């Protein structure tokens, strides 16, 4: 397709723009119809029933497939719905190798639901090829990678792991939620499947829940189409529109998120209340070099550890501009306490082994003015220190 020669900013801005043939509408309409009239017996317009295929959803799916350099895209009702659809590739007796530091919902889906269907998982540091090889079994079918991981921002060398996976005929699946195809395209590095919680950066405005799957290869794309239709956790036409609306500004937003996150993370590295900042854009982050090699930019979220767990509660109470809320990737800044929110379903011993403890906070840096964000955070940290020291002195 000629489109691919355009830069990604142009392709994003133009999603659905010249595809409406009847009226010339410059944004693609929302087709609410669930059924489509057949011209005659044995003929179809290409659309039969909206669970299988819907015109509005198709425009979104084709755009996502193209952006991720895949062959087919599938829009789902949430990131979890997308993950469930992907995991339906596996069945009784199958084994998966999965990133150790993992989105809590993915862990819960694997351990509480897929386990009931006989699918088991081993959690390893996917950047350690020896650990990967050590966890591989005769029944291993796939490797599932988050990079950067959420919340600890560990980086996996995608090309190395996908090459290893291909060698052993394992499917490689990458959760690309944190970087989006604007910054990182795992299929170009050898992955077979990319999944997104489009609720996050793709949508970008904390106002649409959606998931995206992109597959590479004819066989896998056909199987995913079958699962997507059979399971039926598809994205509605109006949410498909809403998601495309958000994606048009993805490039602008990601650049702003990265710029702000880098400035705020750098500010925190020297703050007296902070022990550690986990952000791959910082030069001393262990994954910095790999991240720079395989991605063209950095996500807008990072985590940090306060020196004293008693700071957490007052910090969350004192932030004003930054909202204490779950989720990430929207234009508004949100701060989360992973140990009790997003990662509560991960057993304490796993959480503590990887460092998701009661001193860790995760910050999804929005596109507000960076000076306002730093001032808000600085004031909340100062108030927290004052409260804790005040109580210790009593
Ligand atoms: C939020 C998230 C999910 C789940 O997506 P939902 O849209 O909330 O269902 C999966 N993976 C990652 C990395 C996420 O951040």
Per-residue pLDDT reduced to its tens digit, 76-118: 999 999 999 999 999 999 999 999 888 889 999 999 999 999 9
DSSP lists the bridge partners of residue 304 as 277, 361
Top mutation candidate among 110, 200, 235 for ligand 1, by most atoms within 8 Å of CB: 200
Top mutation candidate among 78, 103, 154, 341 for ligand 1, by most atoms within 8 Å of CB: 103
How big, in percent rounded to 5, are the helix, strand and coil portions of the chain? 40, 15, 45
Q: What are the pLDDT digits (tens) for 212-254?
A: 999 999 999 999 999 999 999 999 999 999 999 999 999 999 9
Full set of structural domains in the chain with CATH: 3-247 (3.40.640.10), 250-393 (3.90.1150.10)
Q: Which of 156-160, 222-226, 265-269, 385-389 has the lowest mean pLDDT?
A: 385-389
Torsion angle defined by CA atoms of residues 174, 121, 336 and 233, in that order, rounded to the nearest 10 degrees:
60
308 is catalytic: no
Q: What are the pLDDT digits (tens) for 60-77?
A: 999 999 999 999 999 999
CA of 391 to the centre of ligand 1 (A): 39
103 is catalytic: yes
pLDDT at 390 over 80: yes
SS3 285: coil
CA of 327 to the centre of ligand 1 (A): 8
Q: What's the pLDDT score for residue 343?
A: 75
CA of 234 to the centre of ligand 1 (A): 16
Whose C-alpha lies nearest to ligand 1, atom 5?
79
Q: Which two tokens stand for residue 354?
A: 């990887």
Nearest to 11 by CA among 185, 174, 190: 185
Rounded distance, CA 392 to CA 394, Å?
6
Q: What's the pLDDT score for residue 393?
A: 54
Averaged pLDDT score across all residues of the chain: 94
- Which residues does 66 contact at the CB level (< 8 Å), separation at least 6? 1, 3, 4, 11
């Amino acid at each position: 397709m000629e489109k691919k020669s355009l830069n990604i900013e142009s392709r994003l801005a133009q999603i659905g723009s010249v595809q409406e043939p009847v009226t010339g509408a410059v944004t693609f309409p929302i087709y609410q119809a669930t059924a489509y009239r057949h011209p005659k017996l044995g003929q179809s317009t290409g659309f039969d029933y909206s669970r299988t295929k819907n015109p509005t959803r198709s425009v979104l799916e084709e755009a996502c497939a193209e952006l991720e350099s895949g062959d087919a895209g599938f829009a789902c009702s949430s990131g979890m719905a997308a993950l469930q659809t992907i995991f339906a590739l596996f069945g009784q007796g199958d084994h998966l190798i999965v990133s150790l530091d993992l989105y809590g919902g993915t862990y819960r889906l694997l351990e509480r639901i897929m386990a009931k269907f006989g699918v088991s998982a081993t959690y390893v540091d996917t950047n350690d090829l020896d650990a990967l090889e050590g966890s591989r079994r005769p029944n291993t079918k796939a490797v599932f990678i988050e990079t950067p991981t959420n919340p600890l921002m560990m980086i996996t060398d995608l090309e190395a792991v996908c090459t290893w996976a291909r060698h052993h005929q394992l499917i490689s699946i990458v959760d690309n939620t944190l970087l989006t195809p604007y910054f990182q395209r795992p299929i170009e590095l050898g992955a077979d499947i990319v999944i997104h919680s489009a609720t996050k950066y793709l949508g970008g405005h904390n106002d649409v829940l959606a998931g995206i799957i992109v597959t590479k290869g004819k066989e896998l794309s056909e199987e995913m189409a079958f699962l997507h239709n059979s399971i039926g956790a598809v994205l509605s036409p109006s949410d498909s529109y809403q998601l495309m609306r958000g994606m048009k500004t993805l490039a602008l937003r990601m650049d702003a998120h990265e710029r702000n996150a880098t400035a705020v993370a750098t500010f925190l590295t020297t703050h007296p209340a902070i022990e550690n900042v986990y952000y791959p854009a910082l030069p001393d982050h262990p994954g910095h070099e790999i991240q720079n090699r395989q991605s063209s930019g950095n996500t807008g979220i990072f985590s940090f550890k306060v020196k004293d767990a008693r700071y957490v509660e007052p910090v969350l109470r004192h932030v004003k501009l930054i909202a204490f809320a779950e989720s990430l990737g929207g234009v508004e800044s949100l701060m989360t306490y992973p140990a009790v929110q997003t990662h509560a379903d991960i057993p304490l011993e796993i959480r503590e082994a990887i460092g998701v403890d009661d001193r860790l906070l995760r910050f999804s840096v929005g596109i507000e003015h960076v000076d306002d964000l730093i001032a808000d955070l600085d004031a909340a940290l100062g108030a927290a220190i004052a409260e804790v020291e005040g109580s210790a002195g009593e």
